[in-house]
Structure 1
């Protein structure tokens, strides 16, 4: 059973003010330990951590279902489609190859590296079978899929950690024991950032390990090289860094807006709606949106398309608009996220220092 709330608060006060056993440690370290204990004991934090584990299990279950080999019915359907394709190929194959080579030659006028694989057009059975993803090919995508949910949970943890104390009046009481607001703010933001690392890391480890087991059962692991594991390791580390940043941002918005509904609505709504709609209407602004920067950081880069005037062909200007590929680098995304985090945490500190608590 948990200790009574009054007992916990009294112990926290003794620890933070140096009247208990922790008096020998630095004041800031004592505050962080107190806040870490509060973060760990919060029911909302535990439920959000449980949701992180559930999300990982859902991904593992989807991997298990997707990695299954084709059923006998699927193989029979594929063989039937292959028979029809082979009959058509016997009749029209030469014409298809000729048309392919003509189109390839035309494409090479503007793109010398164009390769349409015209010598590899004959129908094969694997082209008609359902795709069986492997861990080697799809693993990073599976990790990326669960990461988006995990960082939203980290953001929610940071928000509720702060707004619950503001709403209950506990923060005002706490300031009577520890009146230095700067230290209180720093300790809460630090714990909000660090506290989400354990459940996020556990969920990511469960995702990777569970996906490996699920793929192994269906012989769909693929070739996992040292480079593959290194890249996946860096991806996981970037996910942990993003979770910590979102936890700190959630705490900062909690201090700014003083309402869980307002902070969650603003943060998640901005990521999913404002950035999404803005990037959809004006793709050129994608590098400067939080959502795109977050994806670029997590996925090691992001590709998007913009409309540009068509380039002249053989010196002749072309009418209309064409599409061009653009990228957002991982470094760009990380730097923008870092700037946003620093700005919001600074604004939260300013609001807490100068605003009323009750």
Structure 2
């Protein structure tokens, strides 16, 4: 088994599409890190001048028309209270005066930016791992390499295990390095902008835990991709199925049927990476005044996401094994 694993490690790492996926991942992580910094950095130059100009204009407008705006707001608030029979409705009229912080937002903290960057990095690396894992098995099947390999090792279970193990192990080091590079790069950008990067013990533990979840997700995506490659035999077929699912199920069905969100892959990935994932469902109630509908927030827990994703990977691996055992490898 050790020899099989070593051979599969060499074969997987030498594949051209795997190398391309790695290079794309490196470039993507760099862009995500830079983009996160751009949204987190304090205002400078022209943006700072524009914010000051907008704030000054809002203050002047409020000084000229504030009393009229306030009176109109209170009048509308009272009208709606009477119409709906709810004296507690609050339009926030007393808070309408322009505040400086509306125009000069505080920079995003380093820990929050790091979480955002890790989340974006996780999705990118998971897709790259899925692509690499798929080509690691599908390319061998379509080219006839697996058929030749079985003449040296006819026990298909061992061949299958060695392939998936090699793919999973090969993804560990690149993922660790890219995740570390993302956080380190963001830290350098924060320090270059004169912003603090100090973390408490709890914050450090939280980021480390999230990085570990990113690693688990990427390895799982690679292994699942390898299993799907065994089932569909072509990298393009797997990618087509994934894209079709994202469009038809995640985008269309998920938006049209909000109660299905807990069973969507992306929702559970979000829950696994970032803690509870929120989604909203519409609830309607009928009263003497008519029917009113509200958006109610619900959550998918981290545990739910972990179990859901684990079951998906196990199903893919078992399906891949059954297909590989029973179907001609040529």
Give the TM-score band, short-chain normalised: 0.7 to 0.9
CA distance in 2, matches of 1:69, 1:125: 14
Q: Give the TM-score normalised by the residue count of structure 1.
A: 0.80
Aligned equivalent of 2:244: 269
Aligned equivalent of 1:61: 34
2:53 to 74, 80, 101: 80
CA distance in 2, matches of 1:111, 1:307: 24
Aligned equivalent of 1:4: none
CA distance in 1, matches of 2:205, 2:69: 43
Aligned equivalent of 1:356: 328
Q: Provide structure 1 residue ranges, at least 5 long, that are not aligned to the other structure.
A: 1-27
Partners of 1:60 and 1:214 within 8 A in 2: no
In the TM superposition, what whole-angstrom CA distance separates every residue of 1:243-273 from its partner, at most 9, and x where no partner exists? Answer: 1111111111111111111112113432354
Partners of 1:290 and 1:337 within 8 A in 2: yes
CA distance in 1, matches of 2:315, 2:167: 17
CA distance in 2, matches of 1:337, 1:242: 9
Q: Provide structure 2 residue ranges, at least 5 long, that are not aligned to the other structure.
A: none
- In the TM superposition, what is the alpha-carbon distance from 1:300 to its structure 2 partner? 1.4
Q: Give the TM-score normalised by the residue count of structure 2.
A: 0.87
1:179 to 154, 157, 160: 154
Instruction: Name the SS of the counterpart of 1:265 in structure 2.
Output: helix
Instruction: Name the SS of the counterpart of 1:310 in structure 2.
Output: strand
Of 55-64 and 197-206, deviating more is 55-64
Instruction: Name the SS of the counterpart of 1:179 in structure 2.
Output: coil
Instruction: Name the SS of the counterpart of 2:278 in structure 1.
Output: strand
Per the alignment, do residues 115 and 201 of structure 1 end up closer, same or farther by CA in structure 2, a change over 3 Å counting?
farther
Instruction: Name the SS of the counterpart of 2:42 in structure 1.
Output: coil
1:142 lines up with 2:114 in the alignment: no
CA distance in 2, matches of 1:199, 1:178: 29
Per the alignment, do residues 81 and 291 of structure 1 end up closer, same or farther by CA in structure 2, a change over 3 Å counting?
closer
CA distance in 1, matches of 2:65, 2:201: 45
Instruction: Name the SS of the counterpart of 1:323 in structure 2.
Output: strand
RMSD: 3.0
CA distance in 1, matches of 2:38, 2:281: 36
2:305 to 327, 330, 333: 333
Of 203-212 and 221-230, deviating more is 221-230
CA distance in 1, matches of 2:3, 2:200: 45
CA distance in 2, matches of 1:118, 1:222: 38
- In the TM superposition, what is the alpha-carbon distance from 1:36 to its structure 2 partner? 1.5
Per the alignment, do residues 324 and 111 of structure 1 end up closer, same or farther by CA in structure 2, a change over 3 Å counting?
farther
Partners of 1:63 and 1:215 within 8 A in 2: no
- In the TM superposition, what is the alpha-carbon distance from 1:82 to its structure 2 partner? 2.5
Aligned equivalent of 1:196: 171
Partners of 2:171 and 2:219 within 8 A in 1: yes
Of 317-326 and 184-193, deviating more is 317-326
Partners of 2:168 and 2:222 within 8 A in 1: yes
**Larger RCO: 1 or 2 (CA < 8 Å, sep 6+):** 2
CA distance in 2, matches of 1:320, 1:190: 54
In the TM superposition, what whole-angstrom CA distance separates every residue of 1:213-243 from its partner, at most 9, and x where no partner exists? Answer: 1122112446632222222211111111111
